[in-house]
Amino acid sequence: MEYLTDLVTTVPEGTSPTRVDELRAAEKIRAVELAKAGHLVRLWRPPLDPGEWRSIGLFRANDEAELHEILASLPLHIWMKVTITPLTPHPNDPEYRALQAGGHLQV
């Protein structure tokens, strides 16, 4: 199943820049791992205010419980507020129709 996530990261005041840099570097590595595993499909950066950290992500997981485990594995998760929207295929989506026509998707 696919999930749209809105990830807003707020670094606590007084956090050392070194700690922030360490977690951001670890986050990058973890994102690569999740992409290779097929869980992280896409990431977008919406328009941001100065100092705002926010990403919109498309993730794949077997269920919402697995998605929560995946998101909890992100190093920056300790500072994230996450909004999750479960997604189901729309019959007019071109990819959905192509998969259905090719016999690869059953509804």
With respect to residue 106, please indicate whether it lies within any of the assigned structural domains.
Answer: no
Whole-model pTM: value is 0.85
**Residue 53 contacts residue 8 (beta carbons within 8 Å):** yes
Q: What integer pLDDT is reported at residue 106 of this predicted model?
A: 47
pLDDT, average across residues 45-49: 90
With respect to residue 14, please indicate whether it lies within any of the assigned structural domains.
Answer: yes
**Count of Cβ atoms closer than 10 Å to residue 3 Cβ:** 21
With respect to residue 58, please indicate whether it lies within any of the assigned structural domains.
Answer: yes
Q: Which domain holds residue 19?
A: 2-101
Task: Kindly give, in sequence order, each residue whose CB lies less than 8 Å from that of residue 7, ignoring residues fewer than 6 positions away.
Answer: 54, 55, 56, 57, 71, 80, 81, 82
Is residue 42's pLDDT more than 70?
A: yes
The CATH code of the domain that includes 51 is: 3.30.70.1060
Confidence of residue 107 (pLDDT cuts 50, 70, 90): very low
With respect to residue 36, please indicate whether it lies within any of the assigned structural domains.
Answer: yes
With respect to residue 35, please indicate whether it lies within any of the assigned structural domains.
Answer: yes
With respect to residue 9, please indicate whether it lies within any of the assigned structural domains.
Answer: yes
Is residue 103's pLDDT more than 80?
A: no
With respect to residue 68, please indicate whether it lies within any of the assigned structural domains.
Answer: yes
Total domains in the chain come to: 1
Q: Is 85 helix (H, G, I), strand (E, B) or coil?
A: strand
3-state secondary structure 33-70: HHHHCCCEEEEECCCCCCCCEEEEEEEECCCHHHHHHH
